[in-house]
Amino acid sequence: MAETYKHPTRQIVRNGALADLPSEVDRFKPETILLVVGKESFRKSIHFNNLQKYMVGYDLSHIISVGDNPTEQFLQTIWTQQKTQTYDLVIGIGGGSVLDFGKTIAALLTQPCGTVSEFLSNQMKFEKDTIPFIAIPTTAGTGSEVTQYASIETEDKQKISLTDIKLFPALAIVDPELTHSMPPYLTACTGFDAICQAIESYWSVSNSETSEPHALKAIPILIKNLIRATQNPNNKDARFQMAYASLEAGLAIAQTRTTAVHSVSYPMTTYFDVPHGHACSLTLAPFIRFNAPAIKGARGEKLYQAMGVSSADNGAQLVEDLMKKVKLEQSLTKLGIDTSGIQTIIQNGFRPDRVKNNPRHLTPEDLKTILESIA
Ligand code: NAP
């Protein structure tokens, strides 16, 4: 029998959906709003002017600008600055880094503890209700708009995921038009993040009757549209499909989490500055081959069918070809990761929550073989 399942984030997915923001904001009746955006892409875009037009009557002067992969130190600085303010609503508009930061600050501002490190060492649970958060993605990949996770880079270069049901945004507004300005490389990176998330959710040991349909819906759409969106940034249909399917992949991982591919990607980003989605893409093909014996028979066939191939080897080949077509470098050496870098990744790439979620047990020796295969 199917499990009962209801996702807590309301979702609006439509070209032009940003225009819905004022009526959605009205529902919260906020007196004071905190706006969280990226460094410049959104503010330079026409959508920022539109936002100001739509939100006339609301004060949008409380703004935080967030860079890529926010750190614990940055979070502490902003928390200290904002602690004395009272906000009724937080709106995050940007990539996964902005959305994760927006969720985190919306949650932290109501908590009694004093420092981020105290919070991180206190089992990372939010005792008090958080400020409602509206997530509006400008990239198509992380699915953060519908997950209860938020990544933060700690002082010792670990990328940890805060995880709490209270981190689910109250509302996700997915307006694919906000993603048209992504350059090809960013489109490829973020699109691959979504492909990895959908595939990892499917083969995860936590896969369920309710997560699987989201993953299987996302996979073919992402594979079919990534090249279209990368090569033709203004292709409305391709951008729509990528934004929609990345939300579906987000809905899938909200139930299952990701697996070894994501675990291994984190040190590639924190130690070697490889952007998140690119880092994930690097080991996807080798893990399709590695995990194949653990998803034999009908289980594997369903995945390969969703990818449009007939076997694990063909699936891995498809991923390698796709990376080539969207110009994602596949060699670790060319990305500045040499033999000692591989050791760093092995030492820091085993996140227990992700590796235990992988369908096949992974040893350091296995990972060494995988990383050497893409050196
Ligand atoms: P990102 O780190 O949010 O942004 C990367 C770059 O893209 C930024 O420099 C940003 O510039 C630019 N950018 C964003 N939107 C743009 C647009 N429409 N046009 C042009 N440039 C744009 O990248 P991301 O891949 O979306 O997010 C990665 C982060 O999300 C990682 O920290 C990862 O761990 C996290 N993540 C979270 C979840 C979750 O469930 N919570 C899932 C997967 C990944 P500006 O700063 O100028 O805007």
Q: Which atom of ligand 1 is nearest to the CA of 151?
A: 34
User: What is the pLDDT at residue 1?
Assistant: 41
- Return the residue whose CA atom lies nearest to atom 8 of ligand 1: 68
Q: Which residue in the block uniquely carries the two structure tokens 């908590």?
A: 111
Mutate to test the pocket of ligand 1, among 18, 47, 97 (most ligand atoms within 8 A of CB): 97
Spatial contact of 239 and 181, defined as CB atoms under 8 Å apart: no
Residues with a CB atom less than 6 Å from ligand 1: 38-42, 68-69, 94-98, 100, 138-139, 141-144, 147, 149-151, 178-179, 181-182, 186, 190, 193, 276-277
How confident is the model at residue 4, as a pLDDT? Answer: 61
Euclidean distance between CA atoms 42 and 57, whole angstroms: 21
| Strand duo 159-163 + 149-153: pairing | antiparallel
- The residues near 234 (Cβ < 8 Å, ≥ 6 apart) are 180
Q: Look at ligand 1, atom 17, and give the residue with the nearest C-alpha.
A: 182
8 A C-beta contact, residue 320 and residue 374: no
Residue 91's Cβ-side half-sphere holds a number of Cα atoms within 13 Å equal to 24
What separation in Å is there between the alpha carbon of 179 and the centre of ligand 1?
Answer: 11
Q: How far is the CA of 311 from the centre of ligand 1 (A)?
A: 32
Q: pLDDT tens across 161-211, in order?
A: 999 999 999 999 999 999 999 999 999 999 999 999 999 999 999 999 999
pLDDT at 115: 85
pLDDT of residue 155: 87
Coil vs helix vs strand at 180 = coil
Residue 3, pLDDT > 90, answer no
Residue whose Cα lies nearest atom 35 of ligand 1: it is: 96
14-48: per-residue pLDDT in tens? Answer: 999 999 999 999 999 999 999 999 999 999 999 99
pLDDT band at 291 (very low <50, low <70, confident <90, very high): very high
pTM: 0.97
Calculate how far, in angstroms, residue 141's C-alpha sits from the geometric centre of ligand 1: 8
Mean pLDDT score of the chain: 95
Q: Binning pLDDT at 50, 70 and 90, where does residue 123 land? A: low
Q: Which helix (H) or strand (E) holds 134?
A: strand 133-137
Q: What is the pLDDT of residues 55-88, one digit of tens each?
A: 999 999 999 999 999 999 999 999 999 989 999 9
